[in-house]
Structure 1
């Protein structure tokens, strides 16, 4: 039986297919905000619920979709952090044709994904170009989210798919890490990261961001998220995707940045970061901008080292980013 409006059950919002159908005007294309292999995301308004919501409708024909749904609900249901996308509720029912329907309801992030802002891939009318200080803040937000997942929950959570399209920004540009469809829960607090591992044979992840040890069938661990995070930082710095056509044979984003710092840092950074200072290169050097760009690049490089144990630990990342932030405000 379909309810006429969302209801509360055990303190959490309970919604039906009918509620979500009405919230999105029949899953109208005008409310579609994104689509991918795992499903589609719609913007919506629930009756008697004051916030705008995002509804991720799973494509159940995709292999492992039901398992992905359970993983995401399980992972996000127990976690609360200002830099994680907040899950409002999950819906598992039947649509009006009697077919299985599964969806996850989140808080809507009005500034979309970091991917869109870095590469202007959607809604160019916003024309929001992130300055360096904003990028440092976003990097800090994602680092704090990973620190929480790896150290501050009962079960260590390895996200397994850290990338710009999974970093969502609210109306004040606070970053929230989302899409836990392939996240792995590992028993026990992370006293010893070497013990916090599961096999990576089933991990898909995203080409360019997957750590080399996963491709070789190695163990899933927090070190893998750190690698992906390092690539994310280098992409934020250069506005070049790790899959850019310039990277082939033995050249990748990590090696490209490593070769160019510190002397050639200004040649590889996203040109929009230098736009305010383009008339005065001396200003860039004098005001710590160049030094801070090099520091940011070094963090990305240190996080994306080939061997897991050589990668920077997340608490050191946070300290270094705070140091950059302080220098930028001097």
Structure 2
């Protein structure tokens, strides 16, 4: 069977913009996109640049944009792509600097990974193994498959927040940060510091929860769920100053009080007492009022409001019971 492959070519030495090139190639049953690209380079056009290594979906080097979705070329079937899309179009990962053809510069990606300090800060004082090592049982920590990440960069390339804000840490770095936050060997004060560092702009609250990182991840890491766990830990620590945190807290308060969302009060919950922001959302409030989106202050409470409040009380009691008690400074110094 002979197919036409569409390749997005870019050569920085010529100064030309990236353009599509059609290449005809005979394929065999079971051929992967990476096999086809290697054959094109060896038999058709030796100037084609691509990156690959293990060919076994382990190293993550061959992550590319294949028919508009981030995939590993070594595990992507040519036949399935053609049957699904009617073509096989291959380009470099999106939203990353292109070095040449299908090769992108991964330096920004690695810089973001390093910025979250993906390592244990110090050795634990608790050692319980025969050689002095610390033994971690499954009941002590759950890493939620985050360790399966192969650093291919597909999640960052698919991230809609990263597309408009290149400073965003990205799904891979935030998932790695959550993995060390969940590690029982990490001291508590370091975990609090990690959470504080992630409150800034381009941190955990900038994720729009588009879920694309989960869809394209070849190892089922589910980075977005790791970001959600980071947000929960942040709220439990009391870090509620950012707009994203205030949105969650305000949403919860309104539902607990009224049993429904009050769209007129929700912006005020997020903005707080910032005069400049209040002036900015003023026109929005007027438009909501005109369109009937502002609930009447004299409206009746929804049926079953007490049941809703009972749910919040029950959850709050369980959270207080599950949270570890902190020793007082006097008790800590005495020990």
TM-score, with normalisation over the residues of structure 2?
0.29
- Greater length-normalized contact order (CA 8 Å, ≥ 6 residues apart): 1
Larger Rg belongs to: 2
TM-score, with normalisation over the residues of structure 1?
0.29
Between structures 1 and 2, the one with greater helix share? 2
Between structures 1 and 2, the one with greater strand share? 1
